[in-house]
Chains A and B, each alone.
Chain A
Amino acid sequence: MKKDQGPGGQTEIIFTGFGGQGIVLAGKILGEAVALGDHKESTLVQSYGPEARGGACSAQVIISERTIHYPYVRQADILVCMSQGGFEKYIDVLTPEGILILDSDLVQPRGLDRVHFDIPATRLAEELGRKMMANIIMLGFFTAVTEAVSFEAASEAVAASVPKGTETMNLKAFSKGWDYGRALLKGRQKKAEGRTGA
């Protein structure tokens, strides 16, 4: 599912959700992973709604092979939504061929007729016993389905960015999302080949 880079060899990404979900941290980890691990350019712009906790928030990340002159996303190539509000607000910014990723328990893409990727990230985080790690699960999923960043770079950045002592848990969450993403891609491929069950 390698995403072709947008105009100018750059990929523009928006993460949206509520404050407190770790949306900005996800953006930050992604940017760092791309810059430090994959040796590309990246920028991060964050924006919060009226209240940091519970309000709408988003992180805009740009990844490029070349220098980035303008850090705001104009046309998103990838949109990750972890809240209904974020989805409504940004869906029109996504290019027609862009990749849409949703937390399936939090976002209903009503009336939307386009291929997208779903993961119940928040529920999976609850199952792991750490609801706060939904963002890391999402990042793992993002890494698997978009291939905008390498697995190694992203997991290293996760380990380096999370609070000391929580690395193992966070890496577990990251793998959870990654595994889910890989399994989903595999499932889609099998379905396309007309094979669904065992």
Chain B
Amino acid sequence: MNGKPQIESRATPVPGPARSIILFLCSWGPHAAFQRLQDECAPIPEAVKMVRIPCTGRITKALLFKPFEMGADGVALIGCHEGTCRYGSGTKAARANVRDTCEILDLLGLGATRLRLGLFLPDDSAGLLQFLRQFSDDIQSLDKSPVAPYPLPAVQGDPTPALNQVLREYDVYACQDCGKCSSACPLTLAGKTFSPRSTANALIAGQWDDEGVRRDIWSCLTCGLCSDRCPSAVNFPGFVREVRRILLAHGLGGHEAHGGFFQSLSRTMTSPDLRIHHWSWLPDDIQTDPQSKVLFFGGCAPYFDIFFRTHLGVTTRDILVDSLRLLNFFDIHPALLDAERCCGHDLYWSGDQENFLKLARLNVEAIRASGVEEVIVCCPEGYRTFSHDYPANGVETPFKVTLLMDFLEREIDKGAVGFKRLNRSLTFQDPCRLSRFEKKSALPRKLLGRLDSAGFGEMQERGGGAICCGNTAWTGCDAFSKALQVHRLRQARATGADLLVTACPKCQIHLRCAMQDPFIGESLEMETVDLTTLLARTIQWE
């Protein structure tokens, strides 16, 4: 080494900060090709950092995306051609994952060009080199990624004092050890060795480091059924959230579903310079108006649809389109935040307070700058977060926050609106954020009652006492979540209804997940539709 800065050795030097490219390299075929390049001291671009992997098909969307969350400028996934590899369907899975992640990068404004799939056999080192140089040049020609890596948990030492403070703040000491929480908890009832009471008591006893306790802290669905029953009004979900915050800050997290993809996604959105294209896919017939005093906030459904496309076939994006159609029906042509970010619900409930607050401030600032007076939110989680959690965490919202359902009920109640006949009998899945947290379980029922359907049947557990869809904030999904979903779907089918109406995109995703079970899925199969969509498809002027 002659001490010269490395950047000067590049073929095409680019001013400004160096780019970084993560190369996920299959250790089967392509690695042999790569090794030859190394042996030959071939000019592999220096921006490339190589990570050996067993098979491209094993690299999930979460892993493909993770480098972007950490500030990488480009990611390449290199595997072998179809049929040449002992892992069988790896390449096919890799194609699908790269395609989906590219679409998500596009929505996010990072751009699909930053992720590329390459397939090389051992003897094609020249091809691999050409690919790497081309990709590197392409990435160099792009702007540096605006995503700033979020600071890794920095807190060292014993979390006990912080945990004790939370125990005091949430008055967990008021627990009377009556066990009502555990007998209400759907996870406990699903057979999991999990009990809010013993978790609370273990933390009182200072056993946070116990493996079981830590697992349980990340298992809780924060659904709130336990608190509903608690004679001492212990706010267990809030307590769990705070414990998560402390554990996460000490580097004791990592229990997210789907490899933490959605948490990663939310964290990337905390970068102020990201130019998100949240609405680029909106159909042409939707009428919006940037000057409107009303803003529609849609939420993350577009990302969900892409992410779950291959295994669930969900279309929760329709909820957003149908919400806008309903607003248009009532002559509201709302403004949209083109660069709409995640509301932060999932970061908040999975303990990432810092990044939650960043999102909250960015959202409120963008809304304030757009000059609107009212924000209509269609998703119960978003509504809860905007109307409750932002102010509770010191982020004031200088605008009115309205739940779309409230708006619709108000407008429909003015009369002269009717509904087309719907020859389906319905049942309803209560979203916990709506029915329990916001105490609005009567509202969806009022709207359902307005439909001209073939009937409506309540499930055994309903309203404020309903069991949730088995997953919150993309944490805590396991076999017991699944058991709970199965139980819920059986309740739904027991009503005799032939259409399961949901009111939260995630309820639909999670319940449909259980229907995919290869063994009992068929016996759970039930058509699901969001209430918004149902209203939009049947509403008409009298």
Closest to B542 in A: A187
Residues of A within 8 A of B414 (CB): 179-180, 182-183
Interface residues on A, range: 10 to 19
Closest to B323 in A: A198
Q: How far is the CA of A186 from the CA of B329 in the complex (A)?
A: 10
Q: Is the CB of B328 within 8 A of A198?
A: yes
A45 within 8 A of B: no
Q: Is the CB of B541 within 8 A of A188?
A: yes
| Closest CB in chain A relative to B222 CB, distance in Å | 34
Contact with A along B186-216 (1 / 0, CB 8 A): 0000000000000000000000000000000
Give A95-145 interface residues, CB cut-off 8 Å to B.
Answer: 119, 124
A53 within 8 A of B: no
Q: How far is the CA of A191 from the CA of B322 in the complex (A)?
A: 20
Closest to B541 in A: A187
Q: Is the CB of B415 within 8 A of A179?
A: yes
Q: Is the CB of A190 within 8 A of B541?
A: yes
B424 within 8 A of A: no
Closest to A120 in B: B415
B217 within 8 A of A: no
Closest to A177 in B: B415
Give B316-364 interface residues, CB cut-off 8 Å to A.
Answer: 322, 325-326, 328-329, 331
Q: How far is the CA of A183 from the CA of B326 in the complex (A)?
A: 14
Q: Is the interface of A mostly helix, strand, loop or mixed?
A: helix
A196 within 8 A of B: yes
Q: Is the CB of A184 within 8 A of B325?
A: no
Closest to B417 in A: A183
Task: Given A184-B542, A187-B541, A188-B541, answer yes or no on A198-B322 (Cβ-Cβ < 8 Å).
Answer: yes
B7 within 8 A of A: no
Residues of A within 8 A of B415 (CB): 119, 124, 176, 179-180, 183-184
Residues of B within 8 A of A190 (CB): 541
A8 within 8 A of B: no
Q: Is the CB of A198 within 8 A of B541?
A: no
Give B452-506 interface residues, CB cut-off 8 Å to A.
Answer: none
Q: How far is the CA of A31 from the CA of B542 in the complex (A)?
A: 31
Residues of B within 8 A of A182 (CB): 414
Q: Is the CB of B329 within 8 A of A197?
A: yes
Residue from the set A181, A186, A196, A197 with the largest chain B CB neighbour count within 10 Å? A197
Q: How far is the CA of A186 from the CA of B331 in the complex (A)?
A: 9
Give B373-412 interface residues, CB cut-off 8 Å to A.
Answer: 411
Task: Given A196-B541, A198-B328, A198-B329, answer yes or no on A187-B322 (Cβ-Cβ < 8 Å).
Answer: no
Task: Given A187-B541, A190-B541, answer yes or no on A197-B416 (Cβ-Cβ < 8 Å).
Answer: no
Task: Please give the number of chain B residues whose Cβ is less than 8 angstroms from any Cβ of chain A in the complex.
Answer: 21
| Closest CB in chain A relative to B326 CB, distance in Å | 5
Q: Is the CB of A198 within 8 A of B539?
A: yes
B536 within 8 A of A: yes
| Closest CB in chain B relative to A193 CB, distance in Å | 10
Give A160-198 interface residues, CB cut-off 8 Å to B.
Answer: 176, 179-184, 186-188, 190-191, 196-198
Residues of A within 8 A of B539 (CB): 197-198
Q: How far is the CA of A124 from the CA of B539 in the complex (A)?
A: 20
Residues of B within 8 A of A124 (CB): 415
Residues of B within 8 A of A186 (CB): 331, 416, 541
Closest to A179 in B: B414
B9 within 8 A of A: no
| Closest CB in chain B relative to A100 CB, distance in Å | 17
Residue from the set B325, B328, B416, B539 with the largest chain A CB neighbour count within 10 Å? B416
Residues of B within 8 A of A191 (CB): 541
| Closest CB in chain B relative to A174 CB, distance in Å | 13
Give A31-58 interface residues, CB cut-off 8 Å to B.
Answer: none
B540 within 8 A of A: yes
Q: How far is the CA of A57 from the CA of B358 in the complex (A)?
A: 68
B10 within 8 A of A: no
B420 within 8 A of A: yes
Q: Is the CB of B416 within 8 A of A198?
A: no
Contact with A along B412-443 (1 / 0, CB 8 A): 01111100100000000000000000000000
Residues of A within 8 A of B420 (CB): 197
Q: Is the CB of B326 within 8 A of A198?
A: yes
Residue from the set B415, B417, B542 with the largest chain A CB neighbour count within 10 Å? B415
Which residues of A pack against B, CB within 8 Å? 119, 124, 176, 179-184, 186-188, 190-191, 196-198
* A-B CB contact pairs (8 Å), 21 listed: A124-B415, A176-B415, A179-B413, A179-B415, A183-B414, A183-B415, A183-B417, A184-B542, A186-B416, A186-B541, A187-B541, A188-B541, A191-B541, A196-B541, A197-B329, A197-B539, A198-B325, A198-B326, A198-B329, A198-B537, A198-B539
Known: A183-B415, A187-B416, A187-B541. 7 other contacts (CB 8 A): A182-B414, A184-B415, A191-B541, A197-B420, A197-B540, A198-B322, A198-B537
Q: What 3 A-B pairs come out closest when comparing CB atoms?
A: A187-B541, A180-B415, A179-B414
